[in-house]
Amino acid sequence: MSVAEAQSAWRDWLQSERRFSAHTLTAYQHDVATFLGFMTSYLGAEPTLDALGKLKPAEFRAWLAERGRQGLARTSTARAFASVRSFFRFLDKNGLAHNASIASIQTPKLPRSVPKALSERDMEDLLDAESDRDRAPWLDLRDTAVLILLYGAGLRIGEALALTKAEVDELLKSGNDTLAITGKGNKTRMVLLLPQALKALKAYRDACPWLAAARPGDRVFVGARGGALDPAIVQKRVREIRRSLGLAESVTPHALRHSFATHLLGAGGDLRAIQELLGHASLSTTQRYTDVDAARLAAVYRNAHPRAKG
């Protein structure tokens, strides 16, 4: 088997067994292709499977060092290394190449990022913002419904846009306030919907001119011409709102999900319950929000305590 054939088999495995999204598959393929391109230049010839099995730690470190010289972010390099490691594990598992050296290479350390959340007032202003464009009213109702799902239920943008007409019709017909969401890793969780979210969904569904003829399995959120709504449209709408309100550049659709978790925690929400609502596989991921809340409390303390003012 050639390296190219091994790459193709690896991609098929990631798609069928690991159930990677198309976006993640593309990123992993690009990372491995870039690694192989570097090794072709470094070794002076396109590497074979036998050559990949014989790579030494110094050669892996040379690739990492080159990425550093290019000024690539550590987060990008860490993901690239994870992609390459996945490829080598696949080769080893299938008896195509065995390389013990890669196990001795440490993943680049990443700075511990703290999610950026909006204040409750800014969040209210964002959700209530009116469009300054002359367009059909149902488009504003659509955008409001999407944004309320991101903040009110903590959904990822992909999870919100994956909702089907049948799911929303059944939800509104049944009078329930819970919805089954399939998120990362193909894991399903139950999320609670606020009355405002249900109201927004109904207003949008009833006003959208394309949904009456839509099939049950069609996406409920559609673009101006009736096709499935592109995430870029939601991202653009959030950019417009943040500019009109003078909000920080960090205000993105995903920041609404961060705000959902941070506001729940600040109001005394249980960390385990928030973990379930967000669909985090690990509690450590959810625990980042404790840093946000601690930072907020520290700021309040410094601004309010008499002795903190010197």
Catalytic-labelled residue, pool 28, 151, 204, 289: 289
67: annotated active-site residue? no
Chain-centre distance of CA 90, in angstroms?
25
Catalytic-labelled residue, pool 11, 79, 237, 280: 280
Catalytic-labelled residue, pool 89, 254, 288, 296: 254
151: annotated active-site residue? no
Catalytic-labelled residue, pool 11, 257, 258, 263: 257
Look at phi and psi of residue 296 and say left if phi exceeds 0, alpha if psi is from -120 to 50, else beta. Answer: alpha
Catalytic-labelled residue, pool 61, 184, 189, 199: 184
133: annotated active-site residue? no
280: annotated active-site residue? yes
18: annotated active-site residue? no
Catalytic-labelled residue, pool 11, 156, 165, 242: 156
254: annotated active-site residue? yes
Phi first, then psi: give them for residue 308, nearest 5 degrees: -75, -10
Closest CA to 155 of 138, 174, 179: 179
| Residues that are catalytic | 156, 184, 254, 257, 280, 289
